Structure 1
Amino acid sequence: MTSRTQRHRAFDPDPAAPDRTCDMPGCTHAAGYRAPRSRQALNDYWWFCLEHVRQYNANWDFYKGMTPGQIEAHLRADVSWNRPSWRLGQVGRGQPFDEEQLLDPLGLLTGRAPLAGRNKRAGGRANTDPRPEALREPLETLGLGWPVSLDEVKSRYKDLARRHHPDANNGDRDAEERLKTINVAYTALRAHLNAIRHPATA
């Protein structure tokens, strides 16, 4: 009878914990558990033993020292992922709709979807690129070849999303913009492959 793989328990020490003693003054136990130093430095950690990280967490109050107004403002900002927001209809009022602001890589909403089977370049030369025209940029963005399966697209997207997520890059703006481009490319490829797998019935 084969034994089951033992699951990692929530209270096990962090595998990435540094080889050091607990940061609690006077404690000589190994530090295997991290805790943020303050709400202003959530990615800067104290390292404690299990007993002291439990004590620290029990006394942790993210909003300590903030006024009720500051707490409400912080909660409202969290709802919109700390991005500016406006009441519906306030932005762009009286201005014509700008199609360039709409992310529609397949041209489905603007009625300018590329014709299926188009195989000519400018000058009448044959196009030997087997990739659908609308998917060439998304495929290059994700670094994928053609043909490609939906599982391959999902796997590649997850890898790139983890690598370029702002939280993994200390809030870097360039990483955030790169992730937006990756999201657009993934959406285009997923929509195309899903349409092939599940064509609309007449």
Structure 2
Amino acid sequence: MRTSEHIPPPTDRDEDGGIKLCDRPGCLEHGQYRAPRSREALNSYYWFCLEHVREYNLAWDYFKDMGEDSIEEIRRGDAVWQRPTWPFAGRHRTQGGAPNGQFRDDFGFFEEEAAETAGRKGRFPPNSKQAKALAALNLNPNATLEEVKARYKTLAKELHPDRNGGDSLAEERLKIINLAYSDLKAAF
């Protein structure tokens, strides 16, 4: 950066290079702490000593004499650094398109693709705990809660220890079915 473009920071020295005095009337202390003059002139400063800058800061109220609407507007603007914003899913029309950011699919390409993928996809991701639970119950990935309950009741009756005479394989399978059902019940 060239020195001609450099803007020096505010300093506690006056124009002659001497030490600035506190801006509080009657105070002869070194004014080394800056404070804004008003909310309209945040880059124009008073220079105070430590004692008086503390007093000034305690009394400072940026929102003094402002209405609730003005305060809320400033707070919302500060959340986005005073930059313009717009909604991601606004109700505006795109050029040649439909409302809400959709577009016309005159030939139905995307409808066909959506129908194909909907048939392949299930409710849960393929390797998720819920997808494995559906597989344990021998259900398809698009099964509803009612289908899960019906399948669980059927398997629980088939694998119950009283019905299988204490078969350890049936008991282990029943434990797996119980865990799968509890996972799916929580997921729905």
Q: What TM-score do the two structures reach when normalised by structure 1?
A: 0.38
When Rg is computed on C-alpha atoms for both structures, the one with the higher figure is 2
Q: What TM-score do the two structures reach when normalised by structure 2?
A: 0.41
More helix as a share of residues: 2
